[in-house]
């Protein structure tokens, strides 16, 4: 093979790549925030003692998780066409529902891993159920699930590339555009691969900043405390 | 006693599905009284004590705490619970918080005390249970006996009207049981109202005013401690006592 790498066209299109990068970050961050909210609400419902809350949570998780993300993108884009929502909002909606379902399952298992007596002890001191979750249950669950959350969030960043199919001008979309103009297929996709790699690495390191999440020894001690 | 009882349980029934756990329990805990609830495992004593502060629901009958019906829909359970402390078999300290923070949390968020006030009261109580040096330790770094003393201090931090103890020494190594019982004995001497589920018959004999003996979800005997140990009235209590005292 005598393919000759030529990076000049990529450098010339750096503005497009940068704007794509920002869009990827924007889509990912907004979807991340919404999927955390969805995940905690649905995951808490799934861990609750109420049968109807558990059923509702399971229904949501199974529906959202079992539809391929690509189909999510198409569905929300088409379905919301009459609302004239920008493609950005449709992509965020699809990604948030899809990832939110996964976050919900992780949150549910995290809550389940906190000793049952912790909730009783918190309630017994007069805390409300919401206060008990906020001060006692979530902080403990978060430490347990931080590694799983980190991998979910990396997944979300990579999944955001599917927003390109509904013309959200993020990294993958811009890469396609640059490739169409310059035919430097390898160069452009190698470039964005490196950018994804950096984003994902930074994101998963950030999640591990949750107090206690990194230190395996201390979380093990903590688990049988 | 002229004063109304702090805890008033009337004909309490509870079942899990088709399995009855409590079958018509009636008893009182009066102010300043130490009542020990004992009985074989599975007799319903832990369930009964958890009904008192609404951690367990019941199907029929009534529990009044300071005159307020625990099971009523409009009862402010958090407020009621903040007036009744509880100590658990497995301590249940919050493992992600220091000892002092464990004592502060409900003071700040339930009683709305300032952080400084809560910390001050917390340190006072740690001193009282002999653990002032451990204020900044994490629960996991304490022995079981120390953890349970912290848990008692945490209950006391809310200045409760009574404290419920659910098998407070059952998860402890024998050499640590004594330090916990000693703290409980001091509390009793100071006049704290206590309802104690325990197998510690020595404690019951020395400290309790009354002993309630349960078997198969029923209260079989409810007698002064002296009377219960010297002249149990029912064969079931006699048998229980002979088993538990002879080993």
The pLDDT tens digits of the residues spanning B53-106 come to 999 999 999 999 999 999 999 999 999 999 999 999 999 999 999 999 999 999
Contact B165, B87 (CB under 8 A): yes
Residue A3 pLDDT grade (very low, low, confident, very high; cuts 50, 70, 90):
confident
Instruction: Give 3-state DSSP helix, strand, coil % of chain B, rounded to 5.
Output: 40, 25, 35
Query: What does the pLDDT average to over A136-165?
Result: 94
The DSSP output letter for B62 is: E
Q: Is the pLDDT of residue B211 over 70?
A: yes
Question: CB distance from A134 to chain B under 8 Å?
Answer: no
Number of H-type helices and E-type strands within chain B: 9, 10
Q: Across the interface, do B81 and A121 touch by the CB < 8 Å criterion?
A: no
Of A121, A212, A222, the CB nearest to B92: A121
Query: Which stretch of A200-209, B155-164, B176-185 has the lowest confidence by average pLDDT?
Result: A200-209
* pLDDT of residue B232 exceeding 90: yes
* pLDDT attached to residue B2: 55
Predicted confidence at residue A221, as pLDDT, reads 44
Instruction: Label residues B145-167 b or e (16+ Cβ within 10 Å = b).
Output: bbbbbbbbbbbbbbebbbbbbbb
C-alpha A61/C-alpha A57 separation (Å) is 6
Residue in chain A lying closest to B109 (CA): A127
Mean pLDDT for chain A?
A: 90
Among A156, A196, A153, A146, smallest CA distance to A174 is for: A196
Q: Select from A110, A117, A125 the residue whose CB has the most chain B CBs within 10 Å, as the one to mutate to test that interface.
A: A125
Contact B88 A117 (CB under 8 A): yes
Residue A214 has a pLDDT of 61
Q: Is A217 on the interface with B (CB under 8 A)?
A: no
Sign of the Cα pseudo-torsion (A120, A125, A130, A136, in order): negative
- Are the C-beta atoms of A36 and A79 separated by less than 8 Å? no
Count of beta carbons in the 10 Å neighbourhood of residue B168: 26
Q: Return the pLDDT at A81.
A: 78
Task: Report the candidate in A102, A94, A86, A67 with the shortest Cα–Cα distance to residue A162.
Answer: A94
**Residue B3 banded pLDDT, cuts 50, 70, 90:** confident
Task: Answer whether residue A220 shows pLDDT above 60.
Answer: no
pLDDT (average), residues B201-218? 96
Q: Could you tell me if A127 lies within 8 Å of chain B, comparing CB atoms?
A: yes
From chain A, pick out residues whose CB is under 8 angstroms from the CB of B77.
123
CB contact under 8 A, A126 and B110: yes
Question: pLDDT at residue B14 above 80?
Answer: yes
From first CA to last CA, the distance across chain B in angstroms is 37
**Mean pLDDT of all residues in B216-229:** 95
* Helices within B67-128 (DSSP H only): 77-82, 99-109, 115-128
Q: Is A126 on the interface with B (CB under 8 A)?
A: yes
What chain A holds in terms of domains, given with CATH numbers, is: 8-222 (1.10.3720.10)
Q: Determine the residue of chain A that is closest to B101 in CA distance.
A: A135
Q: What is the phi/psi pair of residue B146, to 5°? A: -65, -40
**Stretch B131-144: mean pLDDT:** 97
Q: What is the pTM of this model?
A: 0.88
The answer to whether ipTM exceeds 0.90 is: yes
């Amino acid at each position: 093979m005598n393919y000759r790498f030529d990076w000049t066209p990529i450098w010339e299109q750096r503005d497009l790549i940068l704007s794509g990068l920002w869009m990827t970050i924007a889509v990912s961050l907004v979807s991340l925030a919404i999927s955390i909210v969805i995940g905690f609400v649905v995951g808490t419902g799934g861990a609750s003692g109420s049968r109807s809350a558990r059923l509702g949570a399971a229904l949501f998780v199974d529906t959202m998780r079992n539809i391929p993300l690509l189909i999510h993108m198409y569905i929300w884009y088409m379905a919301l066409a009459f609302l004239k929502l920008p493609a950005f909002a449709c992509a965020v909606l699809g990604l948030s529902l899809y990832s939110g379902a996964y976050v919900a399952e992780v949150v549910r298992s995290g809550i389940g891993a906190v000793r049952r007596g912790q909730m009783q002890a918190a309630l017994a001191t007069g805390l409300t159920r919401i206060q008990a979750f906020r001060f006692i249950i979530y902080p403990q669950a978060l430490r347990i699930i931080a590694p799983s959350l980190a991998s979910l969030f990396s997944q979300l960043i990579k999944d955001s590339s599917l927003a390109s199919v509904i013309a959200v001008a993020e990294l993958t979309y811009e890469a396609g555009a640059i490739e169409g103009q310059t035919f430097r297929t390898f160069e452009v996709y190698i470039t964005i691969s490196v950018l994804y790699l950096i984003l994902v690495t930074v994101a998963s390191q950030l999640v591990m900043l949750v107090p206690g999440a990194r230190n395996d020894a201390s979380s093990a001690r903590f688990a049988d405390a | 006693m002229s004063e109304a009882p702090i805890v008033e349980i009337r004909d309490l029934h509870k079942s899990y599905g088709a399995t009855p756990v409590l079958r018509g329990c009636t008893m009182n805990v009066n102010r300043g009284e130490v009542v020990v609830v004992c009985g074989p495992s599975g007799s319903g004593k832990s369930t009964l004590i958890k009904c008192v502060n609404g951690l367990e629901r019941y199907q029929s009958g009534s529990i009044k705490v300071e005159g307020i019906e625990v099971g009523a829909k409009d009862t402010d359970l958090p407020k009621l619970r903040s007036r009744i402390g509880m100590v658990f078999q497995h301590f249940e300290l919050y493992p992600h918080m220091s000892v002092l923070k464990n004592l502060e949390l409900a003071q700040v968020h339930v009683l709305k005390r300032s952080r400084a006030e809560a910390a001050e009261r917390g340190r006072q109580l740690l001193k009282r249970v002999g653990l002032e040096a451990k204020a900044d330790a994490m629960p996991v770094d304490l022995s079981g006996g120390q953890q349970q003393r912290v848990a008692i201090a945490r209950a006391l931090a809310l200045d409760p009207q009574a404290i419920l103890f659910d098998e407070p020494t059952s998860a402890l190594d024998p050499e640590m049981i004594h330090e916990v019982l000693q703290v409980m004995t001091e509390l009793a001497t100071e006049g704290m109202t206590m309802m104690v589920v325990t197998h510690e018959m020595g404690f019951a004999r020395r400290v309790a005013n009354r002993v309630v003996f349960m078997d198969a979800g029923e209260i079989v005997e409810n007698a002064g401690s002296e009377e219960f140990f010297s002249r149990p009235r029912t064969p079931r209590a006699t048998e229980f006592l002979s088993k538990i005292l002879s080993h």
